[in-house]
Amino acid sequence: MIIDISNLHASVNGTEIIKGLNLQIGPGEVHAIMGPNGSGKSTLAQTLAGKSDYEVTAGTVTYKGADLLALEADERARAGLFLGFQYPVEIPGVSNVYMLKAALNARRKAKGLAEIDSVEFMRFVREKAKLMQLDQSFLSRGVNEGFSGGEKKRNEIFQMAVLEPDLAILDETDSGLDIDALKVVANGVNAQRDGERAFLLITHYQRLLDYIKPDYVHVLANGRIVRSGTHELALELEANGYDGVLAAAG
């Protein structure tokens, strides 16, 4: 088991958003969480990543056999938990490669590996950039500085490809992408599926799932998973809408 979430309750500014959520993700599995606006999808992602204003009030999260909730955000990241942000922030003046190298070395250090040397790093990074169809100039630009919406999302998947996490949580990575960009992003994710790495895709739309085939689909409503199924469930959602599915789930 990569991650085991049991009876998770989480609040933001005193308001409970996640209300008893259970989810288990095994190695190599791709899970999709779908749900209407305000159901708690992004709160779940931010809570798992350890954002400070998201308070866990009950429940447990076991990540690779250890208590995830006891770790700081950066410790979680170094333990291989990656969050692809819905709204990646800009960090002016800090180049993409500079941050990535620092991040990769932090992760390698946590694994007990030596720092990667610059030549090897650049070779590695260029290869990943090619995969994401990113121009070389992209590497030296400031982190997300002046990037278009699509570029920011591609950059997230690019970072994931470089950091090679054990669990990648992708928060609405498909939102705001045109069909070509969506394909590039999906290809980037699919290339990272190796039977070990686990994915949690958070999305509004079934469209993404045409390109990244999930093993399981969950419907989140009012802070809980109300239905789980296979890819079929996503198609049903598309046909009947959330209202229909939620009504059937009671």
Partner 1 sequence: MASKQQDVKDLVERKYRHGFVTDIESDTLPPGIDEDVIRHISQVKGEPQFMLDWRLKAYRLWQDMQAPNWAKLKLEPIDYQAISYYSAPKKDENAPKSLDEVDPKLLETYDKLGIPLHERARLAGVAVDAVFDSVSVTTTFKDKLADAGVIFCSFSEAVKQHPELIERYLGTVVPQRDNFFAALNSAVFTDGSFVYVPKGVRCPMELSTYFRINAANTGQFERTLIIADEGSHVSYLEGCTAPQRDENQLHAAVVELIAEKDAEIKYSTVQNWYPGDENGRGGIYNFVTKRGDCRGDRSKISWTQVEAGSAITWKYPSCILRGAQSVGEFYSVAVTNNYQQADTGTKMIHIGPGTRSTIISKGISAGQAQNAYRGLVKMMPTAENARNYTQCDSLLMGNQCGAHTFPYMEIKNPSAIVEHEATTSKIADDQLFYCRQRGLSEEDAVNMIVNGFCKEVFRELPMEFAVEAQNLMNVSLEGAVG
Indicate which single residue of 82, 138, 147, 216 sits in contact with partner 1 (rule: CB under 8 A): 82
Instruction: Check residue 12 for interaction with partner 1 (CB under 8 A).
Output: no
Instruction: Check residue 121 for interaction with partner 1 (CB under 8 A).
Output: no
Instruction: Check residue 110 for interaction with partner 1 (CB under 8 A).
Output: yes
Least Å distance between CB 94 and partner 1?
Answer: 4
Least Å distance between CB 85 and partner 1?
Answer: 7
Indicate which single residue of 70, 89, 114, 179 sits in contact with partner 1 (rule: CB under 8 A): 89
The span from the CA of 35 to the CA of 220, in Å, is 5
Q: Residues near 62 by Cβ (< 8 Å), separated by ≥ 6?
A: 1, 3, 4, 6, 68
The span from the CA of 2 to the CA of 171, in Å, is 18
Q: Residues near 144 by Cβ (< 8 Å), separated by ≥ 6?
A: 88, 89, 90, 91, 151, 152, 155
DSSP state of 115: P
Indicate which single residue of 30, 83, 221, 237 sits in contact with partner 1 (rule: CB under 8 A): 83
198 within 8 A of 190, measured Cβ to Cβ = no
The span from the CA of 36 to the CA of 64, in Å, is 30
168: tokens are 């990648």
- Kindly report the number of other CB atoms within 10 A of residue 240's CB atom: 13
Interaction pattern, residues 211-230, with partner 1; x per rule: CB under 8 A: --------------------
DSSP state of 116: P
Subset of 157-196 contacting partner 1 (CB under 8 A):
159, 163
Instruction: Check residue 61 for interaction with partner 1 (CB under 8 A).
Output: no
18 within 8 A of 8, measured Cβ to Cβ = yes
Least Å distance between CB 82 and partner 1?
Answer: 8
Subset of 31-60 contacting partner 1 (CB under 8 A):
49-53
Q: Rank residues 2 and 169 by Cβ distance to partner 1 and give the closer one.
A: 169
Interface residues with partner 1 (CB under 8 A) are: 49-53, 72-74, 76-78, 82-83, 85, 88-89, 91-94, 98-100, 102-103, 106-107, 110, 142-143, 159, 163
